[in-house]
Amino acid sequence: GTKKKNIVFLGSPQVAASVLDTLLAASSSPDSAFQVAAVVTQPPAAKNRGRKLLPSAVAQLALERGFPGDLIFTPERAGEESFLSDLKGVKPELCITAAYGNILPQRFLDIPPCAGTVNIHPSLLPLYRGAAPVQRALQDGVAETGVSLAYTIRALDAGPVIACERFSVDECIKVDNICSCASLRDHLDCYAKAVMQVFDTVICLLKSFCADANS
Q: Which amino acid is at 18?
A: S
The pLDDT of 178-190, averaged and rounded, is 54
Which comes out higher in pLDDT, residue 135 or 105?
105
Which pLDDT score, from 0 to 100, does residue 207 have? 56
Q: From the options 3.40.50.300, 1.10.150.450, 3.40.50.170, 2.60.120.380, give the CATH code of 5-214.
A: 3.40.50.170
Which comes out higher in pLDDT, residue 30 or 169?
30
In this structure, of 20-29, 66-75, 202-211, the range with the lowest mean pLDDT score is: 202-211
Tens of pLDDT, residue by residue over 148-180, are 778 887 666 667 777 676 767 665 454 444 444
Residue 5 pLDDT greater than 90, yes or no: no
In this structure, of 20-34, 45-59, 68-82, 164-178, the range with the lowest mean pLDDT score is: 164-178
Which pLDDT score, from 0 to 100, does residue 105 have? 92
- Binned at pLDDT 50, 70 and 90, residue 91 comes out as very high
Q: Which amino acid is at 19?
A: V
Q: Which amino acid is at 2?
A: T
Identify whether the C-beta of residue 145 lies closer than 8 Å to the C-beta of residue 124.
yes
Identify whether the C-beta of residue 179 lies closer than 8 Å to the C-beta of residue 200.
no
All structural domains of the chain with their residue ranges: 5-214
- Binned at pLDDT 50, 70 and 90, residue 187 comes out as low
Instruction: Tell me how far apart the alpha carbons of residues 176 and 91 are, in angstroms, rounded to a whole number.
Output: 41
Which pLDDT score, from 0 to 100, does residue 213 have? 52
